[in-house]
């Protein structure tokens, strides 16, 4: 097969992009291990002390605990609300369904800032801002619609005849949910949970707008650390950024085990 220039151009551009990306990540990782690094190709010496200092100074354990609590709460609540909603929206046609569909799409389509600022205002009004509850509430706004969106194809692929068969066997609605639908939806719920987890840990704007000093998640305290970088060495911020990216990478690797990224749009195949 003769090499076509278009192919080489594509791979070439991709390689260039990747090379720059590697440089960007490499620069941060290198700096996080650097004794000091000013205006040279490589740092003068290497040390791991910045990680320890960042861990202590930024109280990363507390931050990670908060991040974890917020993320788990958001996942659990959004699945509990989102799955029944997705079911009703997938299975019934009723007056007002279109409106509800749009309402569940808007929080994903809107930049978080646009509803984040009014939401923060409302939360301040009810004295919820700054608390963990406020952060969780704010993060639920895009998370619930995201669960609805992710679950819909999973629900649609379950043959309605299976539910009809369960009804004919005498199962009531609760039994259909617990005995038939829930076991069949486990892969979908797992996928949605993991994706919501990744999104919540990475969600900056909403947490930033609603968090107080004790309810900051990792991504927000990272931003705060960088904004006030003058006080502490750059390397500490960088080592914290590496910790953040490391945990996100871990989550993503787990997520990719459960979700095939190319099947996010096309219908998901029947679970085996």
Partner 1 sequence: MTGQRFAELHLDHVRRAFGDTLALKGMDLTIKGGEFVALLGPSGCGKSTALNCLAGLLPLTGGRITLDSRRIDDLPPEKRGFGMVFQNYALFPHMSVRRNIGFGLSMRKTPKAELTRRVDEAVRLVQLEEHQHKFPAQLSGGQQQRVAIARAIVLEPPLVLMDEPLSNLDAALRLEMRTEIRRLHQSLGLTTVYVTHDQEEALALADRLVVLRLGEVQQVGSPEEVYAHPVNRYVAGFMGYRNMIPVTVTAQDDERATVRADGVELVGVKREELADHAVAAVRPEDFAVVTEAGENTLDATVEIVEYHGREQAVEARLRDGTQLHVRTNSRLAPGDAIRLKVPVERVLVFS
Partner 2 sequence: MTAVLERASLRHRLAEKGVDRVLWLLVPGAVFVVLLFVYPFLYGLQLSFQPKSGGSPFQNYVTFFSDEYLAETVWITLRLGLPAALFNVLASIPIAFRMRGRFRGKRALTTLLVVPITLGTVLTAEGLLAFFGPTGWFNRIWLALGADEPARLTHNYWGVLFSLIITGFPFAFLLTLSYLSGIDPTLEQAAATLGASKRQRFRTITMPLLAPGLAVTFCLSFVLAFSVFPSAVMVGNPAGETHVMSIAAYETALRDNDFAMGSAIAMLMALVMLIVIGVVLIWRTTLYRGATGGKG
Assess contact for 192 and 174: CB atoms under 8 A. Answer: no
For residue 229, how far is the Cα from the chain centroid? 26
Return d(Cα 91, Cα 185) in angstroms, integer.
15
If contact means CB under 5 to 8 A according to the sort of partner, which of partner 2, partner 1, none does residue 121 touch?
partner 2
Phi-psi region of 96 (alpha: psi -120 to 50; beta: other; left: phi over 0): left
The answer to whether the Cα torsion of 55, 244, 228, 119 is positive or negative is: negative
If contact means CB under 5 to 8 A according to the sort of partner, which of partner 1, partner 2, none does residue 195 touch?
none
Residue (105 or 169) nearer to partner 1, CB: 169
Q: Both tokens of residue 149?
A: 């969106």
Kindly provide the residue ranges of all beta strands, DSSP E only, lying in 151-241, ordered along the sequence. Answer: none
Assess contact for 79 and 192: CB atoms under 8 A. Answer: yes
At residue 130, the 3 state secondary structure works out as strand
Computed on alpha carbons and rounded to an integer, the radius of gyration of the chain in Å comes to 23
- Closest contact distance (angstroms) between CB of 186 and partner 1 is 9
Which one among 2, 127, 183, 227 touches partner 2, defined by CB under 8 A?
227
If contact means CB under 5 to 8 A according to the sort of partner, which of partner 2, partner 1, none does residue 141 touch?
partner 2
The answer to the question of residue 263 lying near partner 2 (CB under 8 A) is yes
Q: Segment 100-119, which members bind partner 2 (CB under 8 A)?
A: 100, 103-104, 106-107, 109-119
Assess contact for 90 and 156: CB atoms under 8 A. Answer: yes
- Closest contact distance (angstroms) between CB of 10 and partner 2 is 4
Nearest to 167 by CA among 154, 177, 158: 177
Q: How many residues bind to partner 1 according to rule CB under 8 A?
A: 20
Which one among 33, 70, 82, 188 touches partner 2, defined by CB under 8 A?
82
Q: Segment 150-209, which members bind partner 1 (CB under 8 A)?
A: 159, 161-162, 164-172, 175, 179-180, 183-184
Q: Segment 232-251, which members bind partner 2 (CB under 8 A)?
A: 234, 237-238, 241-242, 244-245, 248-249, 251
Residue (168 or 231) nearer to partner 1, CB: 168
DSSP state of 261: G
The answer to the question of residue 196 lying near partner 2 (CB under 8 A) is no
The answer to the question of residue 148 lying near partner 2 (CB under 8 A) is yes
The answer to the question of residue 187 lying near partner 2 (CB under 8 A) is no
* Residue ranges that bind partner 1, judged by CB under 8 A: 159, 161-162, 164-172, 175, 179-180, 183-184, 270-272
């Amino acid at each position: 097969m003769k090499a076509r220039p278009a192919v080489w151009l594509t791979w070439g551009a991709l390689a260039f992009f990747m090379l720059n990306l590697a440089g960007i990540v490499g620069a941060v990782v290198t700096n996080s291990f650097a004794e000091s690094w000013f205006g040279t190709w490589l740092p003068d010496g290497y040390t791991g002390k910045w990680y320890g200092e960042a861990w202590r100074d930024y109280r990363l354990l507390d931050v990670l605990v908060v991040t974890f609590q917020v993320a788990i709460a958001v996942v659990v609540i959004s699945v509990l609300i989102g799955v029944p909603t997705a079911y009703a929206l997938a299975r019934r046609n009723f007056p007002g369904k279109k409106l509800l569909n749009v309402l569940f799409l808007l929080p994903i389509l809107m930049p978080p800032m646009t509803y984040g600022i009014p939401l923060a205002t409302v939360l301040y009004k009810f004295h919820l801002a700054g608390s963990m509850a406020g952060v969780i509430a704010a993060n639920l706004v895009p998370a619930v619609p995201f669960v609805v969106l992710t679950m819909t194809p999973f629900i649609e692929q379950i043959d309605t005849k299976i539910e009809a068969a369960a009804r004919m066997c005498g199962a009531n609605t609760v039994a259909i949910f617990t005995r038939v639908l829930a076991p069949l939806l486990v892969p979908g719920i797992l996928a949605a949970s993991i994706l919501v987890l990744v999104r919540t840990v990475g969600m900056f704007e909403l947490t930033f707008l609603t968090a107080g000093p004790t309810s900051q998640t990792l991504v927000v305290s990272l931003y705060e650390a960088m904004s006030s970088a003058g006080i502490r060495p750059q390397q500490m911020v960088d080592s914290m950024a590496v910790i953040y990216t490391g945990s996100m990478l871990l989550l993503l690797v787990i997520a990719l085990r459960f979700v095939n990224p190319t099947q996010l749009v096309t219908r998901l195949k029947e679970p085996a």
